[in-house]
Amino acid sequence: MNNKAIATPGRTKDILAKAGFSFKKSLGQNFLVDVNILKNMLCHAGISENTAAIEIGPGIGALTEQLALHAGSVTAFEIDQRLVPILEEELSSFENATIINEDILKADIDQVVRELARDHEEVRVVANLPYYITTPILMRLLMDRLPFQSITVMIQKEVAERMAASPGTKSYGSLSIAVQYYTEASIPMTVPKSVFMPQPNVDSAVLHLEKRAEPPVDVQDEDFFFEIVRASFKQRRKTLINNLGSFFKGSLEKSEIRERMEGSGIDPGRRGESLSMEEFAKLADVFHKVK
């Protein structure tokens, strides 16, 4: 076994050269070459020997190696079959590492998580996610209500900021509410683009999502709640009365929308970004069963 960590420039270059590997832009492949950042990330993720870790997009195994060293087990989903033999070779000394050559969005992740949850005290998702597919992956994991404790992912800084944003800020929007409905979101660290190979165009951040036992608000209809949230942000610069007027066109007159909003104590002239999740819950319940 090579004593030098995979997440170093020299070792990464050697592995890629030996395999004759070329990066696929379509898969958003950027490999991390700073082992201290990975160790830091694992600390924020709360990884211990009691953890079954799930990784998405392991690349050549830089994060997988660190997870295998610190977690009870690691199960990594890799879509690019060219990387599977590299991963198997580089991680051959770790009996607790499993590579699954599947697209995470098509895999039966429910079954994998439930099996891991039976054998381990906790299941945590840890990944360096490709920028182009961050949101679909995270929303699938959250909406499937799988029995894991947390998700800690290295993603584009701007997207992390949107997911962890508070009301009244520029980054706050429907994505913030969707993520924070299921989890408590924080950004424990930012990551410069210089620690990746090849170097991406943007900086990254580590987003930590701790699963909530229950959503922070009680709504009559969850799907409708998210519809109202999306409608309220449809055109950010427009007021709620205008955005909801478009949403309810043909179902409710503007005067009735105004009346219902005022009755619930929400000023129709406000913009979506100023509303808390509790206020959106109130709004959704006031208009429930109209559409």
pLDDT tens for each residue of 35-65? 999 999 999 999 999 999 999 999 999 999 9
DSSP state of 106: T
13: pLDDT strictly greater than 80: yes
> At residue 255, what are phi and psi to the nearest 5 degrees?
-65, -40
* CATH class of the structural domain 9-211: alpha beta
Q: Would you say the C-alpha torsion 161, 52, 212, 224 has a positive or negative sign?
A: positive
Residue 20: band (very low, low, confident or very high) from pLDDT cuts 50, 70, 90 = confident
Residue 26: band (very low, low, confident or very high) from pLDDT cuts 50, 70, 90 = low
> CB under 8 Å to 1, separation ≥6 — which residues?
93
pTM value? Answer: 0.93
Quick one: average pLDDT of 78-99?
95
Residue 2: band (very low, low, confident or very high) from pLDDT cuts 50, 70, 90 = low
> Residues within the annotated binding site for S-adenosyl-L-methionine?
30, 32, 57, 78, 103, 128
Of 123 and 29, the structure prediction assigns the larger pLDDT to 123
pLDDT of residue 132: 79
Domain residue spans in the chain?
9-211, 222-287
Q: Would you say the C-alpha torsion 76, 81, 87, 88 has a positive or negative sign?
A: positive
Strands 97-100 and 183-191: unpaired
> Residues within the annotated binding site?
30, 32, 57, 78, 103, 128
Residue type (1 letter), 62:
A
Q: The domain 222-287 is classified under which CATH number: 3.40.630.30, 1.10.8.100, 1.10.3720.10, 3.40.50.2000? A: 1.10.8.100
- pLDDT averaged over every residue in the chain: 93
Residue 19: band (very low, low, confident or very high) from pLDDT cuts 50, 70, 90 = confident
Instruction: Calculate the CA 105 to chain-centre distance.
Output: 13
Give the pair of three-digit tokens for residue 43.
């600390």
Residue type (1 letter), 225:
F
- Alpha carbons within 13 angstroms on the beta-carbon side of residue 158 total 7
Tell me the pLDDT tens digit for each residue of 193-235.
999 988 888 899 999 999 999 999 999 999 999 999 999 999 9
Strand ranges, E, within 113-255: 122-128, 150-156, 183-191, 196-197, 204-211
72 within 8 A of 52, measured Cβ to Cβ? yes
> CB under 8 Å to 106, separation ≥6 — which residues?
none
